[in-house]
Amino acid sequence: MPINDLYELIRKDQVLLWVGSGFSFYAGFPSVNEIKTLLNNAVSPAKQKELDLSKDLIHFSEDFVVQNGRAFLERVIQERFKTPPIAEHVHQQLGLVSHFKRIITTNYDELLENNFPPRTAALTTDNDVIGTSQAKVKIYKIHGDIKNGKSLVVTATDYSKMYNRNFKDPFWAAVIHEISLHHVLFLGYGYEDENIWADFDHIESKLKSKTKKRFMVGPPLPALKKKRLKKLGIGHIELYGEDFVTGLIANIKENVVADHKQGFTDTQTAQDFITGFDMQVKIEATKEMTEIVSLQKVSGPTKHTINFASTDTAFIDSYKQFSNSYASPVFKFTAAQLNEFSFLIEDFKFMGIDDIAQFNIMHESRKGKVKIVFPEDKLAIENVCYEVFSGIPGKLLIKLDYQGFTIAFDLEIQEDGGIKIEFSTEEPEHAPAKQIYINYFQAMYYLFFGKKIEIHQAGHPVQAKQFQYHEEAGRFKKLMERYLSLVQIEKKFKVKLPPVSIYDFTDEDKKAFNKLSALVKYGYHSVKDPEGLTIADQIYYSKMIEGLKEMEPGTYLSIESKIPVPIKLLNEEIILGREQILLLNPQITKTDEKAFSLTLIPDNQILIYHYEKTGFFNFEVSQILL
């Protein structure tokens, strides 16, 4: 069968997925032979001599249980599967395919259920099957689940028990029911997986009729092995599992909108698939049909792509003229002029040639410069470049540029007559002067706070606006205050800091900035530190201990450094002068006579720092240790 035909069956929800160990191998979980080696290495050399690694896993593990007991086998296997997977990207991709609602697997691990969406049920027992009608995805784990060691099908005895189970019990009845209704796709199996073919033959023998198709996706096989698969009624599609999943997703993206419109894919399945790719879906329902009317990226801008081809000479000439100039504000064409057409939103095919009667392409925009004034606050922002795009009916895009800062406002008229506004901002590639940042963030703060705004063009006010308050006002206010504080720090400490972007502040810069800002604003910096302060001084060690014994309750201890203290902000060193640390009622919590050190913790656990540059604290009554 051609691969696209299989993709179509999957898109129409007619395929049951049967996943084997090869798929878990992508994630770093062991193969059959590796499990044998794992068990063999778990016993002593003397016991290893009693085991035969040349046997298949079924019989090797049977001998292992006779030798060491079932509990030990379960423990060894479970311990190995506790190891986190090294890669889950293939399972994550597979989990995006919402069209797979029923899965059978011989794998013990939890990769499938962990990577499929919420409301996925992993089933291993009769009790698991009961009450799963609300599950979006059902995973039948016919060889057991790693969480339950007793459920694992490993040994010959395990297989015998499985084959002799009552296939009318809820679990196996559900498995047989699913197989009878759907085509089966084997993924992650090789031709040499004899056990799976035995499992499948045994289960199929319980079917009343065998009208569905069976496929195996896997690497190329010799002709003889293909022939044997054919005798088993299984078609072989030469494709590696990862490539199959990638191709399937691309095929669904190309068809999901059309499949939903034609009724091949239900609304929930289509919506689950599309939203899995960080997309927002808008669906409208009428008496006649339910269809997807828009797609939009949730995070970041949405990419739109139009592909078309034509052999119409007049059409080609007209398009060349349009694409090379703004002489014509709109380019119109019909499906009759085209050989091919597709309109993609991200990678999703939203429209094809059969969906269009007439298509318009517009690229109109207006550019210029304005001055933005906030009259109540006497703030004026000069030379703001603007570009206005109005090509889409009901939508308006306004781009503003100020000293490299780009602000885009997306306006859309709603059905109720209101206007929906979204915005995005970008910083300049290279950080401008701090005053530019202050002007920009101040203007954005005023704008989103709802301050009155005037737009001046050619020296005359052309518009007066006042936006409603937006929560972003608080963020812009904080950014404005940050750059104002940087200017104050420069002035206070007589230092020139380099231009800096909001994204260039390291964690150490943030700590230094907070400290310096507090020193500028309050004259001191306080820190709550449950660990207290450790002091090491050979000369004053004994004096400090004696002095602390004589302190009166409610007294602050002042400790001053002998040398100036530096601090680094944005790679610039600032000398703060000598340091003074204040501690309220400090208690000695630890001493080290050899190192001449002691640790002090104040009653309130707060250390207060003063510096020579910003002024020491003067005490009327105090204890001073130099």
pLDDT recorded at residue 465: 72
State the average pLDDT over residues 606-617: 93
pLDDT recorded at residue 390: 72
CA-wise closest residue to 582 among 612, 610, 604, 562: 610
* One domain for residues 24 and 39: no
Q: Considering the domain boundaries, does residue 299 fall inside one? A: no
Q: Considering the domain boundaries, does residue 512 fall inside one? A: no
* One domain for residues 385 and 340: no
Tell me the longest C-alpha to C-alpha distance in the chain.
102
* One domain for residues 231 and 376: no
* One domain for residues 224 and 329: no
Q: Which of 246, 262, 279 is the last residue of a domain?
A: 279
Mean predicted lDDT score pLDDT of the chain: 88
pLDDT recorded at residue 222: 85
pLDDT tens-digit readout, 30-87: 988 899 999 999 999 999 999 999 999 999 999 999 999 999 999 999 999 999 999 8
Q: Is the pLDDT of residue 100 over 60?
A: yes
Helices vs. strands in the chain: H and E counts, helices first? 20, 31
pLDDT tens-digit readout, 467-510: 788 889 999 999 999 999 999 999 999 999 999 998 889 999 99
pLDDT tens-digit readout, 550-608: 788 888 888 888 899 999 999 999 999 999 999 999 988 888 888 888 899 999 999 99
pLDDT recorded at residue 329: 58
Task: Tell me how far apart the alpha carbons of residues 465 and 455 are, in angstroms, rounded to a whole number.
Answer: 8
In terms of residue numbers, what domain contains 464?
Answer: 365-479
* One domain for residues 94 and 79: no
pLDDT recorded at residue 621: 42
* One domain for residues 118 and 244: yes
CB-based contact 90:242 (threshold 8 Å)? yes
Task: Tell me how far apart the alpha carbons of residues 238 and 220 are, in angstroms, rounded to a whole number.
Answer: 5
Q: Considering the domain boundaries, does residue 508 fall inside one? A: no
pLDDT band at 624 (very low <50, low <70, confident <90, very high): very low
State the average pLDDT over residues 370-393: 85
* One domain for residues 526 and 444: no
How many independent structural domains does the chain possess? 5
pLDDT band at 286 (very low <50, low <70, confident <90, very high): confident
pLDDT band at 412 (very low <50, low <70, confident <90, very high): confident
State the average pLDDT over residues 397-421: 84
pLDDT recorded at residue 41: 97
pLDDT tens-digit readout, 111-134: 999 999 888 999 999 999 987 878
Q: Considering the domain boundaries, does residue 288 fall inside one? A: no
Q: Is the pLDDT of residue 361 over 60?
A: yes
pLDDT recorded at residue 98: 95
pLDDT band at 622 (very low <50, low <70, confident <90, very high): very low
pLDDT recorded at residue 595: 84
pLDDT recorded at residue 91: 93
> Judging by DSSP bridges, how do beta strands 15-19 and 183-187 pair with one another?
parallel
pLDDT recorded at residue 446: 93
Lowest mean pLDDT of 189-198, 202-211, 312-321, 409-418, name the range.
189-198
pLDDT recorded at residue 324: 58
pLDDT tens-digit readout, 230-267: 887 888 999 998 999 999 999 999 999 999 999 999 99
Query: N- to C-terminal Cα distance for the chain?
Result: 89
Task: Tell me how far apart the alpha carbons of residues 142 and 202 are, in angstroms, rounded to a whole number.
Answer: 13
Q: Considering the domain boundaries, does residue 270 fall inside one? A: yes
The fraction of the chain above a pLDDT of 90, given in percent, is 60
The set of residues, in sequence order, having a beta carbon less than 8 Å from that of 373 and lying 6+ positions away, is 379, 380, 381, 453, 454, 455, 456, 461
Q: Cα 509 vs. chain centroid, distance in angstroms?
A: 28
pLDDT band at 362 (very low <50, low <70, confident <90, very high): confident
Lowest mean pLDDT of 133-147, 340-354, 376-390, name the range.
376-390
Q: Considering the domain boundaries, does residue 505 fall inside one? A: no
Task: Tell me how far apart the alpha carbons of residues 33 and 35 are, in angstroms, rounded to a whole number.
Answer: 5
Q: Which of 479, 510, 542 is the last residue of a domain?
A: 479
Q: Which of 463, 479, 495 is the last residue of a domain?
A: 479
pLDDT band at 363 (very low <50, low <70, confident <90, very high): low
Q: Is the pLDDT of residue 147 over 50?
A: yes
pLDDT tens-digit readout, 150-178: 999 999 999 988 888 888 889 999 999 99
446 to 378, 387, 481, 484, 577: CA distances (angstroms): 11, 22, 13, 16, 39
> Judging by DSSP bridges, how do beta strands 102-105 and 15-19 pair with one another?
parallel
* One domain for residues 91 and 140: yes
CA-wise closest residue to 427 among 399, 402, 448, 446: 402
Q: Name beta bridge partners: 342.
A: 307, 352
